[in-house]
């Protein structure tokens, strides 16, 4: 039986998106027969679904993209909280997405993205569309899966950035802070911080005390170390801010003229210790470039499993890796939930036991 499959990539890009698209396509062609599969590429995420920006793809479109970074479909952020809101353009986004699905004669829709993408996927599933999600994010914070594709590639890049700070920090006797993406969850900072030999790791799940951070820096100086490396998640906050709501924290920082938590921490360290502190921000470099071998493998496995779900007509699901096995979760069980670092988890304990401070 012929299947017409729509695919979109939504939210921030990351290495492994194209590898996943390729995995889906190759597995569908293999399992269902090339003549029984039609794949429709939807441009720029849900924006393309809303505005019916689609094109029918050919088998050759999926050739040579295993190692290609970014996404051949393009991506765009469409905040979930605005999906059911009709704005000044007078567009009913949910109605339009359902219409595009129908006009394109889709049998199912594959959505590659993070937490926001999965919330919209569930919304469309609840509206009666056949949806399958695939977990993409460098933050590794999607609930119900051990790992997301894109995460390990970003860990490699962030680790390399931290690696390169050691020699220059040593040369100039400086405290160097590396700001790592991760607004809500600290997985990327935790993994790269340990892998890159950071002395202090600051993540949102463990609010820091700036005095304890400074004590750790001074302790290293007194032991004969002339520099310190601090891995900082962009979304981290101190113990006083932990008592505030997110909007209150943002307002407080804006009033104080603070651009990022990392810049504030650097200024406080310099003021309290007298040691020179500088900030390095790899930023969107963490999203760029070719996927690692691990992510190519994981993306291929995820794509192939999605093809199995299509073949078996199991919809309202999202692919996952659990205890080493590729499987799937119900969208309703994971959408809207975030996987956070547990402060008492084994990896945090490992870091503490080798002398890494979390400023807590």
Active site residues: 139
The H-or-E segment that residue 295 falls in is helix 293-311
What does residue 238 show for φ and ψ, rounded to 5 degrees?
-85, 175
Strands 325-330 and 317-322: antiparallel
Q: Which residues contact 174 (CB under 8 A, 6 or more apart)?
A: 168, 227, 275, 276, 277, 278
263 class by beta-carbon count within 10 Å (0-12 exposed, 13-18 middle, 19+ buried): middle
Structural tokens at position 12: 């921030």
Range 31-62 burial, b when 16+ CB lie within 10 A, else e: ebeeeebbbbbbbbbbbbbbbebbeebeeebb
Report the distance separating Cα 40 and Cα 7, nearest Å. Answer: 6
Other C-beta atoms closer than 10 Å to the C-beta of 299 total 28
Structural tokens at position 35: 């003549």
Report the distance separating Cα 30 and Cα 62, nearest Å. Answer: 13
Contact status, residue 331 vs residue 122, Cβ threshold 8 Å: yes
């Amino acid at each position: 039986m012929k299947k017409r499959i729509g695919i979109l990539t939504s939210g921030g890009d990351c290495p492994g998106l194209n590898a996943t698209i390729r995995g889906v396509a190759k597995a569908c062609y293999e399992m269902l027969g090339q003549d029984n599969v039609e794949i429709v590429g939807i441009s720029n995420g849900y924006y393309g679904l809303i505005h019916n920006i689609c094109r029918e793809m050919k088998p050759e479109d999926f050739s040579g993209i295993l190692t290609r970074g970014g996404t051949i479909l393009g991506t765009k952020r469409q905040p979930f909280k605005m999906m059911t809101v009709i704005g000044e353009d007078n567009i009913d986004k949910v109605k339009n997405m359902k219409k595009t699905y129908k006009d394109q004669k889709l049998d199912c829709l594959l959505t590659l993205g993070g937490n926001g993408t999965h919330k919209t996927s569930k919304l469309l599933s609840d509206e009666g569309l056949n949806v399958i999600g695939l977990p993409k994010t460098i933050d590794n914070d999607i609930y119900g899966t051990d790992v997301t594709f894109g995460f390990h590639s970003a860990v490699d890049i962030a680790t390399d950035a931290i690696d390169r700070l050691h020699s220059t920090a040593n040369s100039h006797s400086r405290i160097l802070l590396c700001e790592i993406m991760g607004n809500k969850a600290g997985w990327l900072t935790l993994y790269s911080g340990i892998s890159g030999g950071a002395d202090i790791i600051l993540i949102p799940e463990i609010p820091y005390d700036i005095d304890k951070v400074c004590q750790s820096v001074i302790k290293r100086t007194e032991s004969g170390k002339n520099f310190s490396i601090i891995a900082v998640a962009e979304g981290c906050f101190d113990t006083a801010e932990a008592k505030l709501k997110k909007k209150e924290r943002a307002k407080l920082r804006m009033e104080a003229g603070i651009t990022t938590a990392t810049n504030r921490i650097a200024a406080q360290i310099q003021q309290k210790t007298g040691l020179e502190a500088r900030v390095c921000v790899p930023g969107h470099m963490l999203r760029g470039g070719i996927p690692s071998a691990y992510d190519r493998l994981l993306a291929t496995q995820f794509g192939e499993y999605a093809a199995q779900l299509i073949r078996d007509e199991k919809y309202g699901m999202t692919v996952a890796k659990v205890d080493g096995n590729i499987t799937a979760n119900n969208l309703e069980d994971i959408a809207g939930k975030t996987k956070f670092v547990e402060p008492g988890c084994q990896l945090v304990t490992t870091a503490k036991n080798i002398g890494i401070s979390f400023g807590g």
